[in-house]
Amino acid sequence: MKQLGIYCVIVWGMLVSQTTTAASLTTAHQPPQAPAELYIIIDDMGYRATDERAFALPESVTFSILPHTPQGQAFAERAHAQSRDVMLHLPMEAQSNKPLGPGAITSSMYANEITATFEAALASVPYAIGVNNHMGSVLTASGQALQPLMNVIKHTGLFFVDSRTTRFTVAQQVAREKQIPNARRHVFLDHEQTEAFMNEQWQRAMALTRKHSKVIIIAHPHPGTIEFLQNKLADLPAQHYALKSMHDYFDKPVVPQREYANSAQASAAAPN
C-alpha cells in the first residue's frame, strides 16, 4: 500500500512536470492572436503582354497598372472580372533620367495640368480604387509640389500608397493631412532578380509582421518573381499570415467616385 502511494506520487509528479513543460512550450511558441496581414501589390503592369503571367497569382494580390499603356485597360478589366483589386501606378518626377512614360506628374506643372493629367491617367485604368507612385523621388519629396496632386486624389476618393522610392518622401504625410486613406510600402521584393535576394526580402517582410500587423510588399511581373510568389504563397502558414486585398487594408471601404474623372467631359459634351 505504501509502495502504491509512493508510485502514485511519482506518477502524479511526472504528469505535473509534463503538463508544465507542455504549457511553457505553448507560451513560447504561441501564435499571434490574429494572423498578420500581408498585402502584395504587383506594379509596373501594362506595357508587356507577358505581364499577363501575374494573373497566375491568387486574386487577393493587387495589380497596379501604368496609365495609357497597351495592355493597361484589358488587364484592369480582366482583374476586375476576377474581383482582383486594381490600382493606378502613377508616374511621378524622379531624379533618374529614365523616361517616366505617359501620364507623369512633374513639379513644373500647373495645378490644372496636374488635375487633367491625373484624370486622363485614371480614366485609362478602369476600376482603379487606389494609386501608388511609379518612381517619384523628386515629386514625393516636395510637400508643395504634392498639394495639387493630393487634392485631385482626394476628390476622386482613391486611397494612396506611398511606394517610398526615396527616404525623403513626404507623400504619405501629405495624404494624411488631407485625410486621404493612406498606407506605405514596407518591402520591395525583387529589385534584384535573384532567388537569394527575394528570399532575404521575404524574410524581412515576415519579420516586420512582428512590429506591424499589416505589411505591404511591392513586386513586379518578372517571371522569376511570379514563380517565387506562387511557391511562397502556397506554403503560407494560414495561422500566422493572411494574404489580403488592398481594399481590406482600410477599416472603412474605399469608394472611388469614378464619375468624377469623366463628369467634366460628359457635361461638356452634353450641354442639356
Residues lying near Zn ion in the complex (CB under 5 A) are found at: 43-44, 134
* Cβ neighbours, 10 Å, residue 153: 25
Query: Strands (DSSP E) along the chain, which ranges?
Result: 36-45, 62-65, 86-92, 128-135, 159-162, 182-184, 187-188, 214-219, 241-244
When the beta carbons of 36 and 217 are compared against Zn ion, the nearer one is 217
Helix (DSSP H) and strand (DSSP E) numbers for the chain: 9, 9
Q: Alpha-carbon distance 118 to 123, whole Å? A: 9
Q: Measured from the CB of residue 47, what is the shortest distance to Zn ion in angstroms?
A: 11
SS3 of 235, please? coil
What are the phi and psi torsion angles at 18 (to 5°)? -65, -45
Q: Measured from the CB of residue 123, what is the shortest distance to Zn ion in angstroms?
A: 20
Bin 103: left if φ > 0, else alpha if -120 < ψ < 50, else beta.
Answer: left
When the beta carbons of 188 and 260 are compared against Zn ion, the nearer one is 188
Query: By beta-carbon distance, which residue lies closest to Zn ion?
Result: 134
Q: Measured from the CB of residue 43, what is the shortest distance to Zn ion in angstroms?
A: 5
Question: What does the block give as the cell for 196?
Answer: 537569394
Q: Measured from the CB of residue 133, what is the shortest distance to Zn ion in angstroms?
A: 8
Q: Measured from the CB of residue 135, what is the shortest distance to Zn ion in angstroms?
A: 6
* Cβ neighbours, 10 Å, residue 19: 10
Q: Measured from the CB of residue 42, what is the shortest distance to Zn ion in angstroms?
A: 10
Question: What does the block give as the cell for 91?
Answer: 508616374
How many residues does this entry show for the chain? 272
- Single-letter residue type at 112: N
Question: What does the block give as the cell for 70?
Answer: 497597351
Q: Alpha-carbon distance 127 to 82, whole Å? A: 12
When the beta carbons of 36 and 164 are compared against Zn ion, the nearer one is 164
Q: Measured from the CB of residue 32, what is the shortest distance to Zn ion in angstroms?
A: 32
When the beta carbons of 156 and 165 are compared against Zn ion, the nearer one is 165
* Cβ neighbours, 10 Å, residue 256: 18
Q: Measured from the CB of residue 200, what is the shortest distance to Zn ion in angstroms?
A: 21
When the beta carbons of 84 and 134 are compared against Zn ion, the nearer one is 134
Q: Alpha-carbon distance 190 to 13, whole Å? A: 54
